[in-house]
Amino acid sequence: MLNSLGREPKSAEDTASAQQRARIFKIVGTLASIALFVISIVVLYYVVGELDRAQVKAAFARASGEQITLALFFTSVSYLMLTGYDWVALREVTIQKISYRIAALASFTSYAVSFTLGFPLLTAATVRYWIYSSVGLGASAIASLTLIAGITFWLGMGVVFGLVMMTQPQAAATFTRLPLTMNLLIGLAVFSGIAFYLFLVRNNRRRFVIRGWRLRLPSFPVTLKQMALGAADVSAGAAVLWVLLPPDAQVPFATMLAAYVFAVVLGIASHAPGGIGVFEATMLLALPGVPRGELLGALLVYRLVYYLLPFVLALILLGTREIMMRAGVLQRQLAAAPPQANDD
């Protein structure tokens, strides 16, 4: 099976060129992975250092134990759905058997790191290369996998946002400040775009060539799985913040979904790490009925639970895996070394 994204060698010269590119990708990928890990540690140091302990303590004091538990639960659900992104995409880009354990590790760590550092295409692809290249997956397949996972994310965003705008225009109006008819038209436009994409993949119009690179979109059944995974992930992410709102906020979940999707999109467009600042500003404008202090506290707890905690866990997993791999290599080298004769 050919990779979804790549060039097909047609001669010995092309084969040699492809091998040379693979060696370059391996060197660059290794250096990028090391650099990304170092940058992650530095960012973690500064993020933790800039946290105001009094504000963090006050924010957690406002949240009940039940709210924190629910936030942790929905965070787990969201990241579980994210592991499905890679698991589904792997079936499209390679016939090589990759275990779910490896796919889950690559997906969780790549998203946890990219959510915090920003520039998701670059950071997520680097983490994926670090993990998948160690089990023999090529650079073009990893690039395809990253692209397909990105499509899953945007499909999920589109489905949730379009559905809310069409079925709950009144709730969405709380956030958009637009007439109901305009909300309906926006939702219809989003769903029209998704329908066109489904039409392309349903009718096998999935192959495109962009500057010599061949792109093959996922099949129709895979696309439906992508939409379900993406929608579940986005809904769970919105639920994390929703359950942290004060009990008397009276914010409909549909309103939270619409505001959350828009805030996430603006955060990604800003290229700020984790959309920090942009996401919070958008939510403050979208939910004017929630007292500012309480909403800022909920947003701070959300940041810690949904971004910082998985980020720290991802760094621990990546560091532990690297240590174990190095230890395994050393052990094999020692086992393969010839025994030395004793000098009597």
Query: pLDDT tens digits, residue range 138-151?
Result: 877 888 888 888 88
252 SS3 class: coil
Confidence tier at 322 by pLDDT (50, 70, 90): confident
Structure tokens at 153: 């994310």
| Interval 265-269 mean pLDDT | 78
Q: What 3-state class would DSSP assign to 272?
A: coil
Q: What is the pLDDT of residue 151?
A: 83
Nearest CA to 165 out of 288, 157, 81 is that of: 157
Segment 54-87, tens digit of pLDDT: 666 777 778 888 999 999 999 999 999 999 988 8
pLDDT of residue 6: 45
Calpha distance 200→132 (Å, rounded):
30
CA distance 161 to 262: 8
Beta-carbon count within 10 A of 41 CB: 11
- Examine residue 12 and state whether it is found in any structural domain, yes or no: no
In a domain, 330, yes or no: no
- The boundaries of the domain holding residue 291 are 20-320
Q: Which pLDDT score is estimated for 338?
A: 64
Give the total residue count for the chain. Answer: 344
Distance, in Å, from the CA atom of 158 to the CA atom of 156, rounded to the nearest integer, reads 5
In the chain, what percentage of residues exceed pLDDT 70?
73
The tally of domains found in the chain comes to 1
- Does the residue 337 lie in any domain? no
92 found inside a domain: yes
The dihedral sign for the CA sequence 276, 312, 81, 198: positive
Is 109 within the bounds of a domain? yes
- Residue 327 in any domain: the answer is no
Is 71 part of any domain?
A: yes
Residue 339 lies in a domain: no
